[in-house]
Amino acid sequence: MRALIVRKEGDGKPVAGVEDISEDMLPEAEVTVAVEYSTVNYKDGLCIGPGGGLVRKYPHIPGIDFAGTVEASSDARYAPGDKVVLTGWRVGEAHWGGYAEKARVRADWLVPLPEGLTTRAAMAVGTAGFTAMLAVMALEDHGLTPGHGEVLVTGAAGGVGSVATAILAAKGYDVAGVTGRPEQADYLKSLGASRIVAREELNETTKRPLEAETWAGCVDAVGGAMLARVLGQMKYGGSVAAVGLAGGADLPATVIPFLLRGVNLLGIDSVMQPYDARVRAWEQIAANLPMDKLEAMVTPATLADLPGLGRDILKGQVKGRVVVDVTA
């Protein structure tokens, strides 16, 4: 079987390359999956390259998500021929992941592929899209409905932001997409964004704890000073779903938006989500994500492309979703 293997050289520097390895090298677990597609996420870039403290030991197979067909299973929930998808559970980080023609994982980590999705479409969604749907679900669970004002998406041209923009627009929301790349304006409008907000308008801190009430909701992939600024611009009772920290882990904010406007800051974790929440999110994806918009986000890739893509995504140079055909 072919796999992208990351090994450490004598100087301790990780080096990635495609190799032929024995299936016997796969870890012990209940289900063996013939992997068809995977994706490229920021964590994948770390695991392909510097490690980022995520990889426990080498050699390592990255790939934090994948979709494919069950080949063998000792768990009654899955049988050969079943289509499945996996995201999270530290697969591709602490455990060998999806950048290989086969993966062996725990049955508890898998979700049946929902009706209406192919394995390729599932990985066009991937961890980023799954996280985006969790964020939209959390906003709606906290009262967000169409017609109450603009919903802001920060880091809108990235993987999570692209899918969040498409989902929200398809649900009837007015979406304002934030990007620091003006050349992505047409791309974001094609996904359904009704207006583009320049990153420079939001990435500076302000001494004012509250500004004009502007946003009915927000999916934030940036964190840092931008998240602090957005909190002070939320409408009364509005919520921000925090999904990332591209702009930093610090939050230079005050409690005033929470106390005077009843603003909610909702943390979104996609790694350890329980099974029922995963199934609900994937069903919502199949029902609400427009497939034509999804396809417009996709850049195809192969295992051989991954070392370069890993470097690119760490530099913020990857747009939308990369779908890796593991069999190509």
Architecture of domain 126-267: 3-Layer(aba) Sandwich (3.40)
| Higher local confidence (pLDDT), 106 or 289 | 106
Q: How confident is the model at residue 114 (pLDDT cuts 50, 70, 90)?
A: very high
Average pLDDT (244-271) is 95
| pLDDT at residue 204 greater than cutoff 80 | no
What's the pLDDT score for residue 136? 98
- What is the torsional sign of CA 36, 62, 128, 137? positive
| pLDDT at residue 291 greater than cutoff 90 | no
Grouping H, G, I as helix, E, B as strand and the rest as coil, residue 212 is coil
Q: Are 19 and 3 in contact (CB under 8 A)?
A: yes
Where in the sequence of the chain do the CATH 3.40.50.720 domains occur? 126-267
What's the pLDDT score for residue 11? 76
| pLDDT at residue 203 greater than cutoff 90 | no
Q: Are 235 and 261 in contact (CB under 8 A)?
A: yes
| pLDDT at residue 199 greater than cutoff 90 | yes
Q: How confident is the model at residue 159 (pLDDT cuts 50, 70, 90)?
A: confident
- At 31, list the tokens: 């289900």
Residue among 67, 17, 2, 15 at smallest CA distance from 306: 17
Average pLDDT (308-318) is 92
Q: What is the pTM of this model?
A: 0.91
Phi/psi for 11 (5° steps) reads -85, 5
Average pLDDT (291-298) is 87
Residue among 205, 285, 216 at smallest CA distance from 248: 205
What is the percent of the chain with per-residue pLDDT over 90, rounded to a whole number? Answer: 86
What's the pLDDT score for residue 299? 94
Name the burial class of residue 200, with classes exposed (0-12), middle (13-18) and buried (19+) by CB atoms within 10 angstroms of its CB: exposed
Fold entry, domain 2-113+297-325: Quinone Oxidoreductase; Chain A, domain 1 (3.90.180)
Where in the sequence of the chain do the CATH 3.90.180.10 domains occur? 2-113+297-325
| pLDDT at residue 55 greater than cutoff 80 | yes
Amino acid at 180: G
Q: How confident is the model at residue 52 (pLDDT cuts 50, 70, 90)?
A: confident
In the numeric block, the tokens 């969604």 are attached to: 125
